[in-house]
Amino acid sequence: MNAAIRAVTRAAIYEGWRVFGVYRGWEGLIMGDIKEFNSASVSNTIQRGGTILKTARSEEFRTPEGRAKAAANIKKFGLDALVVIGGNGSLAGAQVLAAEYDIPVIGLPGTIDNDLYGTDSTIGYDTALNTIMECVDKIRDTANSHDRIFFVEVMGRDAGFLTQNSAIAAGAEAAIIPEDQTDIDQLATFIGRGIRKSKNSSIVLVSEKDGGAMHYAERVRQEYPEYNVKVSILGHLQRGGSPTAYDRILASRLGVASIEALKEGQRNIMVGIKNDQIVYVPISRAIKMDKPIEKELINVLSILSI
């Protein structure tokens, strides 16, 4: 997030434009919590987790009255355009505001969930993926030493990208993701494969949706009491920490591209990355279209976990 804020700020100043930082997202736009930024405002931030602008979930922005206050502040501070960094909720808000008040908006995909259509990766996803992989590496020491099955719960809201890919990266035995509900019973399939018999321990990564790891652990305790089952919920560990090089570079490229897009007169688009090339996607598509998980990823895990 900070790498993106830094890139937007500096690329705009490079063009001779003035830049204002809006604190606490839509909430700050409503309250007028807005400060002018210079190049030094974003010094020493690229390596930091979280966001120097802070963030908030705003109920008031969901109301027409809230958005009217936000629009009044856009006028008061003389803002000609907004660059909005965030996930589905933030970009959906941007779309509504743009439609109601005719303000040019450029979205940058910022979420660990990687669930925005039209971009191969979102800012924060790679960092979270690496964090999960490192945590699972550590959990495996206990799983192995004690011959246990671990159900490790991974964030991602409705999407299984973090779960599926961290399972591959950490060499997990299985991943249970929302997108693969075609399997009638993923747990029974996993147990049925007899993984537990051929290995000392097993690690199953489970997406947080629909009861998450607790749900599956409880089922195993009841249906297969012979197994020693543990649960680990990684929680907000996954949302923090210094970003990976990939995320810093991605955020820097997307941030610069957002200013290029504004220069070109683009509006109401999200800047994304496809096959390592910058792309523009209408915000309406980015937030509404389903982003499928490649079947190949599901295959890779099941082949490699025998």
Binding residues (CB under 6 A) for ligand F6P: these are 87, 111-113, 155-157, 208, 239
Residue with tokens 């937030």: 287
Active site residue 113: yes
* Cβ atoms 110, 124 nearer than 8 A: yes
Residue 141 exposed, middle or buried by CB count within 10 Å (0-12, 13-18, 19+): exposed
Residue whose beta carbon is closest to ligand F6P: 155
Q: Which residue among 113, 115, 126, 247 is the active-site one?
A: 113
Rounded to whole angstroms, the Cα distance separating 150 from 267 reads: 47
The single-letter DSSP state of residue 242 is P
The runs of H, that is alpha helices, within 42-152 are 64-76, 88-101, 125-146
Instruction: Look at residue 270 and give its three-state secondary structure.
Output: strand
Among 175, 188, 171, smallest CA distance to 224 is for 188
- CA angle (244 as vertex; 214, 116 as ends), nearest 5: 65
CB of 239 to ligand F6P, least distance (A): 5
Residue with tokens 């931030």: 45
Tell me whether residue 112 or residue 203 sits nearer to ligand F6P (CB atom). 112
CB of 172 to ligand F6P, least distance (A): 18
CB of 272 to ligand F6P, least distance (A): 17
Tell me whether residue 37 or residue 115 sits nearer to ligand F6P (CB atom). 115
Tell me whether residue 69 or residue 239 sits nearer to ligand F6P (CB atom). 239
CB of 19 to ligand F6P, least distance (A): 26
Tell me whether residue 112 or residue 152 sits nearer to ligand F6P (CB atom). 112
Tell me whether residue 111 or residue 127 sits nearer to ligand F6P (CB atom). 111
CB of 158 to ligand F6P, least distance (A): 9
Rounded to whole angstroms, the Cα distance separating 162 from 20 reads: 33
Question: Which residue numbers are catalytic?
Answer: 113
